[in-house]
Each structure stands twice: as structure tokens, then as C-alpha cells.
């Protein structure tokens, strides 16, 4: 049977990682893969995480199975932190998932089970969104709503695109720090989107994977909260992999808001059954770390401070990049208005390739750059490379 399979294309971003690793040029710059980096280019384990791991090593007395819901203490603490009392507690159910991706996968399967055939997604979006929903039987419908040239979110375009949606369709929203554009709706935009979703009877799916890396931890949840408090039914897919630096530990959660508590218990029973059939139970380590941090005032403070330092590093790199204004056809000033790890520059694939060949600057073919891949020297080199490109 295997002979019937068609070969799948390599992940283009993984290919870039390989090419970057093989490049012997000492001053090469990696703006490809989406992980946070410090000024030295490292992706360190956060100090609060190290301390929580030490506590876990001392205190964990068993590695026996938990259950498909994962670490309930983690889910509660995270739900309190992110959703708080935005929605009545008895309308919310949640479970731990393998990363934000696991949460999105369960979302997709729950939607499919609920008879939802379509999910509307602003385009461009994270490259995994469309295939993930499609594979679970929910067809993605793309709404072009980001203008790469001006690097603006086109709210009117997004709302107009939703004209095509029928009641019961789902809509995907990036909670903050849009990947790959870096531009989020403002407060008025979130309200308009929430009202529209409620009026049209759509089901919002909020993907919150970068809380704390945009305007600040509390502010970054405001869009998600605006949506959750406006609608009867919603899903919130959460990732701790960026804001706790846990990436490979695959730490996330899915929260579902239902019209009432009784519906919530039915939703949870479906989510648990789907989790059981997918991965049976999520990996424990990352969730245990987050639970320990959130349950310890001093550790929680330390984590928030480290996260804030990361956020400020991204903001100051954006300012440095933007200070050059427009170089050739590339408006870098717009980068200052973005949030989080990503921006997408108006570069053609040929220009992206040229920057790689001539200057050892690696980025996704779409022109997406990871802001955290820069340091002070790399920003100067990048500006010089763009000037060189403009002079060609
Ligand atoms: N949503 C978005 C927008 C992302 O960028 C990512 C990670 N790149 C995820 C979800 C998934 O996060 P995780 O690694 O926790 O699965």
C-alpha cells in the first residue's frame, strides 16, 4: 500500500535551517525558525523554568499516568491567569494538550464532530493552520486581509470577507502577535470582530501562542477576552511554548466556552474522548513546570520579569530595524508598529534568495523574519544588505 503514497514536499522552513547550519560564513544571520533568541543568539531555558524543574525533581514521587485531561492544576492556574473572570467559571472547560498545535488539532476535531464544515482564516496565517484544519475535515476559507506592502491589518477587508460565512462556521483569530505579519487588531477592531461573530452566529477559535511578547502579558489577552465575553460559544487554543520557552516540551491547553455548564460538561466529554484517541494523554513535564511557577509567587514574579525582558528585547530590535526608514522598496518603519516575534517584509522570493546568497541572511521565502534572530550588529548588517540590494 505504501507505494500508493505521493511524496510530500519538504517543510521549506526546515530546509532553510539546514542550509543555514551548513553555511560556513561566520556572520550569517538566521531569521527563519520561530524561536526566541537572546543577543548572543541562544534560546535559553528560562531561570524560573530551571528552578521549577529543580523543585519537580525533588518532589515528584510518581510518573504514573494522569489522564487525557493532563495536569488539572496546570489547566486551572492557566485558565485563571488568561481568562480570569471574563466568563462565568461554570461556562469554561479546559484540558492540557501537546502544545498549541495539539489544542488546535482538538479544536478542529471538535468542530468537525459538531458539524462545522468551514473555518474562516485571515490570510496569510501560520503555515500550519490551513493543513491542520483541512486534515481534520474542516475546510479552511481564506480571507486576504493583510497588506504586506504597507504591513497593515485590513479590518474592513476581514469583516467584508466574513460576509461569505454562514451561521455555524468557525473563524480563526490570532490572539496577539500575529504570525507571520506581527500586526494585530486594535481594541476597537477586536470589538467590531467580536460583535460581528456574535451577530452572525459564528464560532470563534482564538489561537493565543505569544502572550506576553506583544504589549505586555495582561494587554495581550484583551483581544481574546473581548471575543470570549461577547459570544455564547468559543474555543481558546493556548501555547506556553513561547512565553515559558518550553518549545520541545509541547505545553499547551484548550479551553472551551459554552452557553451553560451542562453543555460544557458534554463538550469536555467529547474533548477527552478525542484526546484519548489522538495521544491518550499529553506529556507532563512542561505542564508540571508551568503549574509550579504559577503556584509560587516568587517564581511567578521571576518568570514575568524574564518574559518582560524578552518582550522588551523584541520591541527594541523593532525600533532599531525601523529607524532606517525605507531602504530601496522596503519600508522598515512599519516594523515598529508590529508586535511579537514576526514581521513580513515586502521582498520577492528572488530578493530573499539574493540576501541568502550575497549576505548569508536567511529568512522564509515569504519574506517573514524572526525579529529575535537579530542583535545590534545583525541589524546594522541587515540595513547594509538592503542598501546593497537597492544598489543592484
Ligand atoms: N499558533 C501559532 C500562531 C504559532 O505560531 C504556533 C507555533 N509556531 C503555534 C500555534 C503552535 O505552538 P506549539 O509549538 O505550542 O504547538
Flag whether 4 is in a domain. no
| pLDDT computed for residue 14 by the predictor | 85
Rg for the chain, CA atoms, rounded: 21
Q: Is the ipTM of this complex over 0.90?
A: yes
Tell me which of 234, 265, 294 is where a domain ends.
294
Is the domain of 120 the same as that of 142? yes
**Which stretches of 114-168 are DSSP H helices?**
129-135, 155-161
Decide whether any atom of ligand 1 lies within 6 Å of the 228 Cβ.
no
Ligand 1 pocket, mutate which of 11, 126, 235 (most atoms under 8 A from CB) = 126
Any ligand 1 atom below 6 A from CB of 209:
yes
**CATH code of 144's domain:** 3.40.640.10
Q: Which helix (H) or strand (E) holds 340?
A: none
Q: Which helix (H) or strand (E) covers residue 339, if one does?
A: none
By the 10 Å C-beta count (0-12 exposed, 13-18 middle, 19+ buried), 173 is classed as: buried
The residue whose C-alpha atom lies closest to atom 1 belonging to ligand 1 is 209
Residue 392 lies in a domain: no
What CATH number does the domain containing 326 carry?
Answer: 3.90.1150.10
User: Cα of 133 to ligand 1 centre, how many Å?
Assistant: 14
Q: Are residues 134 and 275 in the same domain?
A: yes
Look at residue 176 and tell me if it is in a domain: yes
Asked whether residue 265 is assigned to any structural domain, the reply reads yes
Catalytic residue (one of 77, 141, 184, 242): 242
In this structure, the answer to whether residues 205 and 110 fall within a common structural domain is yes
13 Cβ contact list (under 8 Å, min separation 6): 32, 33, 127, 364
Q: Give the position, in ligand 1's atom list, of the atom nearest the Cα of 98.
A: 16
Count the neighbouring beta carbons within 10 Å of the beta carbon of residue 259. Answer: 11
**Is residue 126 annotated as a catalytic residue, yes or no?**
yes
Closest Cα to atom 2, ligand 1: which residue? 209
Residues 265 and 139 in one domain: yes
| Confidence (pLDDT) at 150 | 80
For ligand 1, whether the C-beta of 126 sits within 6 Å is yes
Model confidence pLDDT, tens digit, residues 303-338 = 999 999 999 999 999 999 999 999 999 999 999 999
How far is it between the farthest Cα atoms of the chain?
A: 65
pTM, to two decimals: 0.97
**Does a structural domain hold residue 3?**
no
Listed residue (114, 71, 78) closest to 96, CA to CA: 71
Digits of tens for pLDDT over the chain (392 positions)?
Answer: 999 999 998 888 888 889 999 999 999 999 998 999 999 999 999 999 999 999 999 999 999 999 999 999 999 999 999 999 999 999 999 999 999 999 999 999 999 999 999 999 999 999 999 999 999 999 999 999 988 878 889 999 999 999 999 999 999 999 999 999 999 999 999 999 999 999 999 999 999 999 999 999 999 999 999 999 999 999 999 999 999 999 999 999 999 999 999 999 999 999 999 999 999 999 999 999 999 999 999 999 999 999 999 999 999 999 999 999 999 999 999 999 999 999 999 999 999 999 999 999 999 999 999 999 999 999 999 999 999 999 99
56 shares its domain with 36:
no
Would you say residue 302 lies in a domain? Answer: no
* pLDDT given at position 33: 87
460538561: which residue's cell? 265
Regarding whether 57 and 27 lie in a shared domain, the answer is no
Q: Note the residue count of the chain.
A: 392
Last residue of a domain, one of 266, 294, 322: 294
CA torsion, ordered 264, 266, 269, 273, to nearest 10 deg: -120
Is residue 242 flagged as an active site residue?
A: yes
Q: Is 212 in the pocket of ligand 1 (CB under 6 A)?
A: no
The count of domains in the chain is 2
C-alpha of residue 102 to centroid of ligand 1, in Å: 9
Query: Which whole-number Å values give the CA distances from 244 to 44, 173, 212, 240, 306, in the listed order?
Result: 11, 22, 10, 6, 9
Say if CB 30 and CB 378 are below 8 A apart: no
Assess if residue 70 is contained within a domain. Answer: yes
Q: Strands 139-144 and 251-257: what pairing?
A: unpaired
Decide: 230 in ligand 1 pocket, CB within 6 A: no
372 as an active site residue: the answer is no
Q: How far is the CA of 316 from the centre of ligand 1 (A)?
A: 23
The closest-lying atom of ligand 1 relative to the alpha carbon of residue 126 is 3
User: Cα separations (Å) of 226 from 53, 87, 182, 314?
Assistant: 34, 10, 19, 25
Measured by CA distance, the residue closest to atom 6 of ligand 1 is 209
Give Cβ neighbours of residue 320 (< 8 Å, ≥ 6 apart). Answer: 374, 376, 379
> Is residue 197 in some structural domain?
yes
Task: Compute φ and ψ for 76, nearest 5 degrees.
Answer: -65, -50
3-state secondary structure of 243: coil
Residues 161 and 270 in one domain: yes
**Same domain as 124, residue 68:** yes
Query: Which residues have CB under 8 Å from 217's CB, separation 6+?
Result: 211, 243, 304, 307, 308
- Same-domain check for residues 22 and 67: no
Atom of ligand 1 nearest to the CA of 252: 15
Is there a single domain that holds both residue 133 and residue 269?
yes
What is the pLDDT at residue 38?
A: 95
Decide: 336 and 319 in contact? Cβ < 8 Å: yes
101 lines ligand 1 (CB under 6 A): yes
Q: For residues 206 and 107, what is the distance between their CA atoms, to the nearest angstrom?
A: 10
pLDDT at position 15, please?
87
Phi/psi for 128 (5° steps) reads: -90, -15
Alpha carbon of 128 to ligand 1 centroid (Å): 8
Give the model's pLDDT for residue 166.
97
Domain of 207, in residue numbers: 49-294
Looking at the structure, tell me whether residues 276 and 378 fall in a common domain.
Answer: no
Catalytic option among 103, 108, 130, 209: 209
Is the domain of 29 the same as that of 102? Answer: no
97 Cβ closer than 6 Å to some ligand 1 atom: no
Indicate if ligand 1 lies below 6 Å from the C-beta of 211. no
Ligand 1: distance of its center to the CA of 239 in Å? Answer: 7
Distance 173 CA to ligand 1 centre (A): 13
Per-residue pLDDT at 72: 98
209 in active site: yes
Amino acid at each position: 500500500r505504501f507505494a500508493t503514497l505521493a511524496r510530500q514536499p519538504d517543510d521549506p522552513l526546515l530546509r532553510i535551517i539546514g542550509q543555514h547550519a551548513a553555511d560556513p560564513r561566520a556572520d550569517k544571520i538566521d531569521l527563519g525558525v520561530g524561536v526566541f533568541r537572546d543577543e548572543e543568539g541562544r534560546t535559553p531555558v528560562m531561570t524560573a523554568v530551571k528552578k521549577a524543574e529543580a523543585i519537580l525533581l525533588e518532589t515528584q514521587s510518581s510518573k504514573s499516568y494522569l489522564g487525557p485531561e493532563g495536569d488539572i492544576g496546570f489547566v486551572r492556574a492557566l485558565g485563571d491567569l488568561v481568562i480570569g473572570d471574563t466568563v462565568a467559571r461554570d461556562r469554561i472547560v479546559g484540558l492540557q494538550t501537546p502544545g498549541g498545535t495539539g489544542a488546535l488539532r482538538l479544536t478542529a476535531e471538535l468542530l468537525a464532530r459538531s458539524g462545522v464544515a468551514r473555518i474562516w482564516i485571515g490570510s496569510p496565517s501560520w503555515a500550519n493552520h490551513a493543513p491542520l484544519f483541512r486534515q481534520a475535515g474542516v475546510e479552511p476559507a481564506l480571507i486576504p486581509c493583510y497588506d504586506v506592502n504597507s504591513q497593515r491589518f485590513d479590518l474592513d477587508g476581514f469583516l467584508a470577507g466574513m460576509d461569505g460565512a454562514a451561521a455555524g462556521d468557525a473563524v480563526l483569530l490570532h490572539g496577539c502577535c500575529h504570525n507571520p505579519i506581527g500586526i494585530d487588531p486594535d481594541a476597537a477592531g477586536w470589538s467590531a470582530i467580536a460583535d460581528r461573530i456574535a451577530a452572525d452566529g459564528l464560532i470563534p477559535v482564538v489561537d493565543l501562542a505569544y502572550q506576553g511578547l506583544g504589549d505586555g502579558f495582561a494587554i495581550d489577552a484583551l483581544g481574546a477576552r473581548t471575543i470570549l465575553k461577547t459570544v455564547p460559544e468559543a474555543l481558546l487554543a493556548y501555547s506556553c511554548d513561547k512565553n515559558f520557552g518550553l518549545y520541545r516540551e509541547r505545553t499547551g491547553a484548550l479551553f472551551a466556552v459554552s452557553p451553560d455548564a451542562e453543555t460544557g460538561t458534554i463538550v469536555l466529554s467529547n474533548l477527552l474522548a478525542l484526546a484519548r484517541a489522538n495521544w491518550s494523554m499529553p506529556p507532563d513535564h512542561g505542564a508540571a513546570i508551568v503549574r509550579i511557577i504559577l503556584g509560587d509567587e516568587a517564581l511567578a514574579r521571576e518568570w514575568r520579569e524574564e518574559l518582560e525582558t524578552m518582550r522588551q528585547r523584541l520591541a527594541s530590535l523593532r525600533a532599531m530595524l525601523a529607524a532606517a526608514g525605507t531602504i530601496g522598496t522596503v519600508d522598515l518603519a512599519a516594523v515598529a508598529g508590529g508586535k511579537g516575534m514576526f514581521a513580513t517584509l515586502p521582498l520577492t522570493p528572488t530578493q530573499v534568495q539574493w540576501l541568502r546568497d550575497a549576505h548569508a541572511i536567511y529568512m522564509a521565502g515569504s519574506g517573514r523574519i524572526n525579529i529575535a534572530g537579530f542583535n545590534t550588529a545583525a541589524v546594522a548588517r541587515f540595513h547594509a544588505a538592503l542598501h546593497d540590494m537597492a544598489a543592484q
